[in-house]
């Protein structure tokens, strides 16, 4: 395996990763982004983004991400299009990250691998992705103003998203696979108090249906009967999301679901290793937050590296 060294390795090429790379490269650090493909991750999948500040118009996530990547590249960051398969943080002088046939080493690493969904897809899900299927009310809710929407799920996130939609959509139906919702009392009360929200339980999603765009979903109801619920927007919260941290093994502290535990500046349980974006344990998963965390992780890494006696600055070399 060939080895190559740099000063900061950023794992992940989404908004968090490329923003971290932008800041690290502008700070004069030799920065490498390792991520598979040109434009990947959740942002690259977002069909239309209306809430990323400063764009002035609705753009596909891919286009915004391409601009962030180009900005990082112009600042001097390199991008290797490989997935990280292993990381070893035992030597603080040279943390090691394997990707493809290379072993990259650096004294600082920023993990920004996101939290792509997991599990089997339901019939029609791929076909109508971005054409009626949504996963985030803050992102896509306003597109369904005054229309009928369906929220499919049964956990707190699904219930909260359904509540948020009641202020936007005409009619909201929360379709839950469970026969009974197991939610905190205040959330149950809030659901019951919304006149334009209907809760349907015992509905197991079979298929998203439609022509050009999704127009509804087919369910298996109690007793084996089929039901089709019509809606213009279908918000799916069935599988949750899974952080892409499998390649880390047990190298860093994680919460039960695999999200990385950090301090507010992104420092993980290993000094010199930072995390940013959806891969972190936190409440709000949005692009602008991912960018902000990429910035914080890079500035934290820079501060850490500048204090180390073996860095280029201290040897009098140009940064």
Residues that bind ligand FAD (CB under 6 A): 11-17, 34-36, 40-43, 45-46, 49, 51, 83-84, 112-114, 116, 135-136, 139, 244, 247, 277-279, 285-288, 290
Other C-beta atoms closer than 10 Å to the C-beta of 312 total 14
Angle between helices 61-75 and 15-26 (to 10 degrees): 20
Nearer to ligand FAD, 116 or 168 (CB): 116
Least Å distance, CB 303 to ligand FAD, is: 22
Least Å distance, CB 44 to ligand FAD, is: 7
- Residue in 114, 83, 119 with CA at minimum distance from that of residue 101: 83
Which DSSP state fits 223? G
Nearer to ligand FAD, 34 or 298 (CB): 34
Nearer to ligand FAD, 139 or 305 (CB): 139
Nearer to ligand FAD, 110 or 199 (CB): 110
Pairing of the two strands 133-134 and 171-176: unpaired
Residue indicated by tokens 């390792």 = 34
Least Å distance, CB 103 to ligand FAD, is: 14
Provide the token pair at 35.
């991520």
**C-alpha count within 13 angstroms, C-beta hemisphere, residue 164:** 17
Provide the token pair at 74.
């112009």
Least Å distance, CB 97 to ligand FAD, is: 8
Nearer to ligand FAD, 63 or 226 (CB): 63
Distance (Å, whole) CA 301 – CA 290:
16
Other C-beta atoms closer than 10 Å to the C-beta of 204 total 15
Least Å distance, CB 104 to ligand FAD, is: 11
Least Å distance, CB 40 to ligand FAD, is: 3
Other C-beta atoms closer than 10 Å to the C-beta of 9 total 30
Least Å distance, CB 152 to ligand FAD, is: 15
**C-alpha count within 13 angstroms, C-beta hemisphere, residue 178:** 10
Nearer to ligand FAD, 36 or 177 (CB): 36
Distance (Å, whole) CA 221 – CA 224:
6
Nearer to ligand FAD, 75 or 311 (CB): 75
**In a 3-state reduction of DSSP, which class is residue 44?**
helix
């Amino acid at each position: 395996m060939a080895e190559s060294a740099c000063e900061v390795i950023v794992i992940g090429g989404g908004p968090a990763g490329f923003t971290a790379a932008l800041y690290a490269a502008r700070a004069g650090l030799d920065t490498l982004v390792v991520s598979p493909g040109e434009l990947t991750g959740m942002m690259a999948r977002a069909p239309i983004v209306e809430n990323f500040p400063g764009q002035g118009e609705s753009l596909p996530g891919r286009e915004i991400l391409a601009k962030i990547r180009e900005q990082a590249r112009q600042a001097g960051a390199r991008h290797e299009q490989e997935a990280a398969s292993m990381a070893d943080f035992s030597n603080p002088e040279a943390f090691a990250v394997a990707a493809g046939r290379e072993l990259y080493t650096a004294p600082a690493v920023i993990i920004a691998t996101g939290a792509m969904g997991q599990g089997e897809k339901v019939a029609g899900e791929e076909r109508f992705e971005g054409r009626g299927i949504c996963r985030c009310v803050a992102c896509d809710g306003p597109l369904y103003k005054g229309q009928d929407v369906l929220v499919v799920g049964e956990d707190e996130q699904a219930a909260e998203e359904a509540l948020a939609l009641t202020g936007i959509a005409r009619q909201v139906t929360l379709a839950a696979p469970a026969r009974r919702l197991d939610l905190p009392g205040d959330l149950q009360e809030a659901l019951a108090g919304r006149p334009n929200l209907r809760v349907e339980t015992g509905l197991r999603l079979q298929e998203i249906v439609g022509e050009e765009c999704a127009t509804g979903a087919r369910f298996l109801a109690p007793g084996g009967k089929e039901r089709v619920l019509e809606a213009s927007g279908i918000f799916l919260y069935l599988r949750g999301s899974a952080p892409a941290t499998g390649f880390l093994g047990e190298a860093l502290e994680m919460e039960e679901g695999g999200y990385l535990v950090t301090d507010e500046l992104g420092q993980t349980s290993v000094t010199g290793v930072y995390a940013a974006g959806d891969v972190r344990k936190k409440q709000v998963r949005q692009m602008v937050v991912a960018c902000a965390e990429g910035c914080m992780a890079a500035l934290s890494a820079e501060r850490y590296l500048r204090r180390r006696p073996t860095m280029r600055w201290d040897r009098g070399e140009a940064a």
